[in-house]
Structure 1
């Protein structure tokens, strides 16, 4: 926070930002109640006049210190209409003689066209756009740029009418008209006080589609989605998703939209997925545009989920916001939970839950186990942008989900009602949210709140002991040390389990200390070691553990392979059934990996391959869920199970398992694939999507068998939608097929004028399992269509390669590490926020074998040797180097 930075020393003169601590929080010394902004936009610059009504706290004789970004030129400063003495620091503006309060007018000039950081006000393809979260508003004007300063905003935008016919800001339009000389203006007012990070402005040549929504109380809301006129035909799905989101929030939480207008704008150059600015959501085009020809089924799901997420922020983030940035998960974890539940209600709840768990295991668990581990609510930071992480968002959502499970849906809804009743219009903390839930439910959540303050992924070890007819289930929890937290206290968590008898039927034995619910028996784990006794459990009954993934933990148990195969056939809980398959698959792949490392022959037992026979025999299985059961854990997740990661051997072992499955079940796979191929045209209903999901997975297996080249080529040529086309492209990209070059070239020709589709072309090649992928990625980084300036294009190639292609990134030559280090330095000169988000893979050096360790450390040192490195990258690279 601004005041803390000043208090910690000579911030204005510091070369690098100082570390800020949660424990040092103090209320703002300057509070703004109202602000009027006048933007005069030109091709070469923008002039902004900000007139604020403010009051001050504390020492009124002290100067007023405001946050001011490095891209600002301060033109003039006036207090109550009179020129004020002021001085400019590197990150601050200090104003003398402010007294107890009054009116402050600051005129600034910026150059949006030169703003490659995409923070504050910038230009994207000729369009003016803002991104103010977390600290972008200070790049527009000097201001107490912190979330606990909430003001009412009035905005006037003046611009050239030909190049910027559309002028948008937060709230409601109140005036517009011509100015002469080809210029015009529009004025907007937002009736709700908001923090500066929620301010938004868009000006450009945009088309739009319009619809309406009538709220539960009968108010008619106008809905607009603005985009490049060429993309308007891809906005219908987003509009329908918005209306579904609005209805769902009313039905589930009783929350109505509070303005008469809701605008969404799709922007091609955007650092994030989307931004929930009050009444004017700005979206990355990737999160809005969808058509069968350009978007996969997963893209459709993503658009719906992200549209919902940003809309739900209207209450969980906007009406009630964060007191400080340490509380980021207050809005993000809660809203991710809400969007997950919305998506589950709109589609398959079982499949959605598995998708969410997969993200945790492939992205958040590695973060928790590495040098960048941090709590859901961090206690310190240098650059807040570095904490927009899967821990804050996705693990934060799991914390909310556990709270929901512990107190129950009815009490959770009462807690939400109480939260809004207490805090509407306020900037609050995670503790305030937990207090509302505790008060509404009567549940003591004091120990539970350790999930906010302790980093790391707990490991639960579950064992059974039979005493006569009873079974004692013992659960032990342990959390490894993380940076700055060598000792962990036990967590309070829900552990949901069930029992399946030998005939495959569920049973509900009486339990001490547990509570049977519709989906299983809820045990509350609070201690390092805790036992629960189940009465009169039949011999041979098998426990179904961690149902619904009821806590974000790693699970170890005494379940045998026979137990797991039994659960795979009979368990009624989708997650537990899928987890049985995943555990068998992990055992098989890691067994082969160990043999390869030790130079032994591959083990003869193939537990997962053997169990798959029962899956093909079960004709009642939903095709989408069968696809999930047949999908092996990814190499990143599997690598987390190894004491020392040997990425090459692990890749070889996983490939061997896939080949074994393809060989053993070729006939069954081909018959099922043929039965799933569409007999009519493209459809977006659930049955058609499920059929595509399974058929396209089976294609990946069948591509490994003789004749796979012809099958893949035929699949590609017959595709009438992007889901099928990209599946064929993925299979051919992995291969040595003679048709490989022609299909890659054809896809490029089809997609070269569609940026989001071209991103897929780059990503598919970056994740290829071929041995020459690292060289190909370097080659693609020099492709005319590749650019470091567009975050989507950068992520499609570089992040796909370094985060998803473990074997390629860890190529024994070390080329993957050096490529990433060089890319980080190049991007850092353009967009430090995005550059910093590329660092994490290099920080996982401690888990790999020594030769690769040395090369990864050299790459980190190479980054840190750059004298002009940004604070964003320096913070994460330095932490990564420490391990």
Structure 2
């Protein structure tokens, strides 16, 4: 914990390291209370002759330091709480450092720690310095050899990066294993796991014919729950060969599931460590969303083998270089495995909920930040999801074939290097022959552009003049913005619903029915000729840029787009826009929009053609999404309007909802595949409308749905409906669920999260009671995110007018900061939008923020979030 004000680190201050590490040999003698770590570093000076060697270290007990085999006296080096400094070093040398650490006391879950009787590491971003003194920065790449020694009975499994070199028994019931990773890597990719674990095994034959052993390690009894992860891994390996030409390079690939983990998963070279929440699945314990998430995360971490491991980032300001690119890769994989349309909707919905909100608030930052206090705070939606959108725009601008040429060039040129965003964009410039200097502004400027569109149709000349204008509001530290390079994909729809050709003035041939315009100025005009009728503009198809596409459509135009736009995303977007407009009007006293309600009729009529897409079309914008459209947020009015629209839609189409619900009843064994998941999604969407009245009849249906469910997806749907109700059937179902899954922590997370998301007035009281439940452990990030994270996303109850929701989350954040600062800082992000509420709520939130900022010894993680939020 820090007592002084933390200082920011700036990109402009970057300089290359003064020393290089060629090889590091690590020797671990594991003990939960006192693990001894020996580190032998073969090094060379690369900077000035008089430059001292300054190694990072935290929470370490230094036992000894030796230079070229000679122990150094204490006056030959200096050590403080964060550094080991050694002056007067030769040009090349070998340094031996012995440290002692206490993994069982490491509640930060950074470095080497223990979890449920096993040893585990998490070294990204700066955890390796909690294991031994080292140049803990991503541009120092070395070859690692790791020897692990431990009690054989307690820790029969000993794992680290690379290939297993040797293993054997030792006196006193101990044993050892030696692993070597032949590929140079930064220390944040180091991994070690030791414990008593079960496993499943398989193999994969690469495109060059090499056999790779695949192993997934889990707690005993969870082996069957790892089968879907193994299947996902093999599909990801095959896909990466076909889509990107990337072949796996080691003899073995391993995954380990742990229950206490700050991240979702970690791409350590050859030894991925996963939060068990994103690895374990069975029909009885995992929802369709869980299966999809497991598939995507397994692929993401595997894809990092090339976009993150073989090529890493020079410094943490380049974080999106590996994360944005790898997110884009895993999105492509998931889309190919499931549904491109539904996957795109999921991506954009998540982007708007998290990243657009981030861009609009005090924590806004560019995809390539210029400064930070704690790098842990920059594992954000901007770095990941917006970073992925930038890759998508590059692909749109240069085309699929050139995109592959650019990525091939990037992999070939920078293999084994620590690269930068500039290196990445330069590969696209060389592959395409285009100047992308303006496009680089996407990496440098924070904020979400608004692309406004106005069209003027001239019937006499059959021309349509489209005026596009972009605006980008000031963000913290960036009061003035330059125009961005924005790809705008669009089409024209006639009043009959037919697509019209888009022929630009000056073209000789009839144009296509869809094209991409490049908006590079503050405003531009595009003239289309041969337009036979006044078109309805379908703008931003496929969400071609992370922007707000503002088009002033009439309600009738929106319903036409809902029914006829050939772009599935824009069909969904038209529905969301219509629903949002309807709810905004209802908050001003209007009746529900009859055109929107009627437009859902054809959606229901065609629902069986694409069930997953239909389920998305039937889903109204969330309350938090509506809040983003309001200058001053009124949580109570939003909730009332949304519930009113749900009830209106339910009443208008009740017969069709009931017909579909009955027709979609469970038939046959569970399958996690896309078609079966889509069927469940549509049936559960119907359930939401059939239980809209929240009366006893609705409770009976929801209760019956829960009891008859043969899989977790349907059980959760029944429980979710009951959370809104006061019926005794709700308590009966939740008690039944708890007792059935009392020994499964991940399932109880769902049980707690559902209650935390309830709109009922007693939710705050209920959440505080659940924090005393035996299943809740504030030291475990999964438990905190499941309960407190779910509550902070409860737009209605977190923002209760009496401030009780704010006090609850504030209490948790302050307590957490002394246990796990990373999780505390992320939970504190719930207060980010505080200035968008009414004065009374603002005052309540400010009090919590100031109270938190004033705590003694506040961590740098939490200090950065609190100070920026209050600024």
TM range (shorter): over 0.9
* SS across alignment from 2:85: strand
Matched residue, 2:751: 761
Deviations 1:624-663 (A, max 9, x none): 1111011111111111111111111111111111111112
Provide structure 1 residue ranges, at least 5 long, that are not aligned to the other structure. 1-11, 596-600
How far off its partner does 1:685 sit?
3.4
Moved more, 778-787 or 761-770: 778-787
Moved more, 672-681 or 27-36: 672-681
Matched residue, 2:735: 745
Report the Cα distance in structure 2 between the residues aligned to 1:665 and 1:649, rounded to whole angstroms. Answer: 25
* SS across alignment from 1:720: coil
Matched residue, 2:798: 809
Matched residue, 1:555: 549
- Taking a change above 3 Å as real, the CA distance of residues 532 and 121 of structure 1, as seen in their structure-2 partners, is same
How far off its partner does 1:511 sit?
1.6
The equivalent position to 1:536 in structure 2, one of 511, 530, 534, is 530
- Taking a change above 3 Å as real, the CA distance of residues 780 and 620 of structure 1, as seen in their structure-2 partners, is closer
Matched residue, 1:340: 331
- Taking a change above 3 Å as real, the CA distance of residues 300 and 604 of structure 1, as seen in their structure-2 partners, is closer
Matched residue, 1:567: 561
- Taking a change above 3 Å as real, the CA distance of residues 674 and 29 of structure 1, as seen in their structure-2 partners, is same
How far off its partner does 1:15 sit?
3.5
Matched residue, 1:144: 135
* SS across alignment from 2:33: coil
Establish whether residue 397 from structure 1 lines up as the match of residue 388 from structure 2: yes
Report the Cα distance in structure 1 between the residues aligned to 2:728 and 2:652, rounded to whole angstroms. Answer: 25
Task: Write out aligned runs for 1:204-223 (5 A).
Answer: 204-223=195-214
The equivalent position to 1:491 in structure 2, one of 473, 484, 491, is 484
* SS across alignment from 1:54: strand
The equivalent position to 1:864 in structure 2, one of 853, 865, 868, is 853
How far off its partner does 1:96 sit?
2.9
Task: Write out aligned runs for 1:457-472 (5 A).
Answer: 457-467=448-458, 468-472=461-465
Query: How high is the TM-score relative to the length of structure 1?
Result: 0.96
Establish whether residue 523 from structure 1 lines up as the match of residue 512 from structure 2: no
Matched residue, 2:760: 770
Task: Write out aligned runs for 1:78-477 (5 A).
Answer: 78-84=66-72, 85-467=76-458, 468-477=461-470
Moved more, 650-659 or 352-361: 650-659
Report the Cα distance in structure 1 between the residues aligned to 2:529 and 2:841, rounded to whole angstroms. Answer: 52
Report the Cα distance in structure 2 between the residues aligned to 1:684 and 1:830, rounded to whole angstroms. Answer: 37
Moved more, 214-223 or 51-60: 51-60
How far off its partner does 1:230 sit?
1.2
Count of residue pairs brought into register by the alignment: 863
- Taking a change above 3 Å as real, the CA distance of residues 118 and 13 of structure 1, as seen in their structure-2 partners, is closer
Contact 1:415 1:437 in 2 (8 A): yes
The equivalent position to 1:68 in structure 2, one of 57, 61, 81, is 57
- Taking a change above 3 Å as real, the CA distance of residues 195 and 430 of structure 1, as seen in their structure-2 partners, is same
* SS across alignment from 1:576: helix
Moved more, 170-179 or 86-95: 86-95
Contact 2:29 2:149 in 1 (8 A): yes
* SS across alignment from 1:642: coil
- Taking a change above 3 Å as real, the CA distance of residues 131 and 854 of structure 1, as seen in their structure-2 partners, is same
Matched residue, 1:874: 863
- Taking a change above 3 Å as real, the CA distance of residues 620 and 230 of structure 1, as seen in their structure-2 partners, is closer
Report the Cα distance in structure 2 between the residues aligned to 1:606 and 1:657, rounded to whole angstroms. Answer: 10
Task: Write out aligned runs for 1:482-881 (5 A).
Answer: 482-512=475-505, 520-593=514-587, 595=588, 601-603=589-591, 605-618=593-606, 621-705=609-693, 707-802=697-792, 804-881=793-870
How far off its partner does 1:776 sit?
1.5
Contact 1:464 1:558 in 2 (8 A): no
RMSD: 1.6
How far off its partner does 1:620 sit?
5.8
Moved more, 501-510 or 44-53: 501-510
Deviations 1:452-500 (A, max 9, x none): 0100011111110113311011111111111000111111011000112
How far off its partner does 1:61 sit?
2.7
Deviations 1:497-535 (A, max 9, x none): 011223322221312499999882110111111111111
Report the Cα distance in structure 1 between the residues aligned to 2:663 and 2:538, rounded to whole angstroms. Answer: 33
How far off its partner does 1:679 sit?
3.0
Report the Cα distance in structure 2 between the residues aligned to 1:218 and 1:380, rounded to whole angstroms. Answer: 46
Provide structure 2 residue ranges, at least 5 long, that are not aligned to the other structure. none
Contact 2:502 2:515 in 1 (8 A): no
Report the Cα distance in structure 1 between the residues aligned to 2:112 and 2:254, rounded to whole angstroms. Answer: 18
Query: How high is the TM-score relative to the length of structure 2?
Result: 0.97
Report the Cα distance in structure 1 between the residues aligned to 2:557 and 2:828, rounded to whole angstroms. Answer: 41
Contact 1:588 1:607 in 2 (8 A): no
